[in-house]
Structure 1
């Protein structure tokens, strides 16, 4: 826990899945967290979420036994954001709702407060359209679960100040995340577009009976999932070209990429497809509770991050290069 975090207050708006992950992560890094939620049972929901998530927080996180001393609940939005250094919004993906929220936040928050949104689709300019000054509003889109997966996509609008972007990057780095600033706004940002492309072909392969839903998951986790945990797609194919690198790969195996892309599926998400996917998912994973599946997911992802950090540290000590994606957790 960094001493620099002591006494700093972050207001988290929303106590859904993403909000709960942020709450756990921020408390683990010594921040004071003020939760704003319309749910009357928010204290219970947060307590259950912390119990579920705390074991998988980054190495060196604060003792969960002391979380309660730095956690408070304020259902009134204006009081919740007043005096906060950072405000993190996690409301549903409803533009009108977010515009109303940010209009109110802009009036009640301190002028120097950093205002962040976890949105996965909306731009800061659109969300802040009703604010008198939206220059402090920045998208900080996490990849679920935010208390485990390091990536945060940082997205600015035309009205966003460069200083706010720099502050957002520094804030996410201070809580052991890996921020990547998108160079231009694009619908659904980068990570979700990659995920969506893979999901489309996954649905196609299952719908066509090539593999079952459960088998498709095994294909990914035992091949490209494992590969991408250590190297990105471009480095993977750069290595695939041997000593000739990406230049050689694109000139040989990669020369037919466009023909291969033309053969990718475009499955209709009709009721038959939806029913089939749901049925297969329930047969494959319905024997475990949500909590059991979350613990297994987070335990595995945390183990991977821990090993990557160890490899990175050993490489730095020995003067060798660390694998891409290996970071401090």
Structure 2
């Protein structure tokens, strides 16, 4: 997606410093921005400092902007007193429409008129929490990242029906300046884009294990050593195009050839859907736990982060990959 506006952001505010907010803060600092940060949770300031310190060596591998510093932020108790010269807000509050409604209205009341408010909401459309904005609800939109934002490029921009074109263009320009890969949704949908795709895969992964068809380890292996490798490079549509022989008719040939079989598989999936009821979830957990106990999750997280950087660096040298 090409930017249709010049990035004019100089100062950023981050509201909420959980895992997502801390990661966003690390990225903004790495790109040379001055950041104002706030989170009322006990110990939030110390946790943020520890997070930035632990992730800074990794983000240095990706590259820092001139003058970037891990200390170029101010943690404040009342962020409303520090919004007068902020250009962009990244909100990372709990996934509760009532909470976000009050918070977004408060931000809207204290920000300069040009500032954009982007919510990291992972599935709640912004039309559900702009109802009390009195200044300019048209500057509010979704800017949903994938975790961790300082490493994974995707950010989903989801305007509500009243979001202005200027706010969308500024969000696109800002995220592109960060090195992100923004995708712009044409309309709101619960869960947006990537989480809906991910949810479809997860629901079937849960069903396969619950039904005794495969183990958790085999499901993970099937994804990471099979379709996941291809999807990380070209995505499902281009995979279908290539699978159908390539060319303008590749996609049609693929769907025509496999469509009837896929329809049958989908009917079986629908008939055996994972219910997400508490009892079924507990039974699934009992199958997952013994496998997890053989792993070192923190080591997995570290190695995954390192491998992500290597993958992104490789992809950056291939002009035909997304």
Distance 1:53 1:288 in 2: 22
1:290/1:112 CA distance change after superposition, 3 Å = farther
Alignment of 1:137-152 (within 5 A): 137-152=140-155
Greater displacement, 260-269 / 283-292: 283-292
Partner of 1:226: 229
Is the Cα–Cα contact under 8 Å of residues 36 and 80 in structure 1 kept in the other structure?
A: no
Normalised by the length of structure 1, the TM-score is 0.88
Partner of 2:3: none
What's the offset of the Cα at 1:254? 2.7
Which sections of structure 2, spanning at least 5 residues, go unmatched?
Answer: 1-5
User: Pick from 134, 137, 148: which aligns with 1:134?
Assistant: 137
Normalised by the length of structure 2, the TM-score is 0.90
What's the offset of the Cα at 1:84? 1.0
Partner of 2:126: 124
User: Pick from 258, 265, 287: which aligns with 1:253?
Assistant: 258
1:119-164 per-residue CA deviation (whole Å, 9 max, x = no partner) reads 1222222211100120111110111111111111101112211000
Is the Cα–Cα contact under 8 Å of residues 11 and 88 in structure 1 kept in the other structure?
A: yes
Deviating beyond 4 angstroms after TM superposition, the runs of 4 or more aligned structure 1 residues are 4-7, 62-65, 287-290
Partner of 1:85: 87
Please tell me whether residue 108 in structure 1 is matched to residue 110 in structure 2.
yes
Is the Cα–Cα contact under 8 Å of residues 213 and 277 in structure 1 kept in the other structure?
A: no
Alignment of 1:259-298 (within 5 A): 259-264=264-269, 265-286=272-293, 291-298=298-305
1:262/1:196 CA distance change after superposition, 3 Å = same
Is the Cα–Cα contact under 8 Å of residues 20 and 50 in structure 1 kept in the other structure?
A: yes
Is the Cα–Cα contact under 8 Å of residues 31 and 68 in structure 2 kept in the other structure?
A: no
Distance 2:68 2:161 in 1: 43
Is the Cα–Cα contact under 8 Å of residues 5 and 29 in structure 1 kept in the other structure?
A: no
Is the Cα–Cα contact under 8 Å of residues 124 and 160 in structure 1 kept in the other structure?
A: no
What's the offset of the Cα at 1:61? 1.8
Distance 2:106 2:165 in 1: 23
Give the number of aligned pairs: 311
Partner of 1:211: 214
Please tell me whether residue 202 in structure 1 is matched to residue 177 in structure 2.
no
1:160-195 per-residue CA deviation (whole Å, 9 max, x = no partner) reads 110000000001001010111101111111110000
Greater displacement, 249-258 / 226-235: 249-258
Is the Cα–Cα contact under 8 Å of residues 35 and 80 in structure 1 kept in the other structure?
A: no
1:147/1:123 CA distance change after superposition, 3 Å = same
Is the Cα–Cα contact under 8 Å of residues 54 and 64 in structure 1 kept in the other structure?
A: no
What's the offset of the Cα at 1:81? 2.7
Distance 1:26 1:288 in 2: 33
Distance 1:120 1:190 in 2: 10
Distance 1:29 1:286 in 2: 38
Partner of 2:156: 153
1:282/1:51 CA distance change after superposition, 3 Å = farther
Partner of 1:319: none
Q: 2:202 is paired with a residue of what secondary structure?
A: helix
What's the offset of the Cα at 1:7? 9.0
Partner of 1:97: 99
What's the offset of the Cα at 1:18? 0.6
Which sections of structure 1, spanning at least 5 residues, go unmatched?
Answer: 313-321
Is the Cα–Cα contact under 8 Å of residues 6 and 31 in structure 1 kept in the other structure?
A: no
Partner of 1:171: 174
1:246/1:65 CA distance change after superposition, 3 Å = closer
1:121/1:280 CA distance change after superposition, 3 Å = same
Q: CA RMSD in A?
A: 2.2
What's the offset of the Cα at 1:288? 5.3
Alignment of 1:292-307 (within 5 A): 292-307=299-314
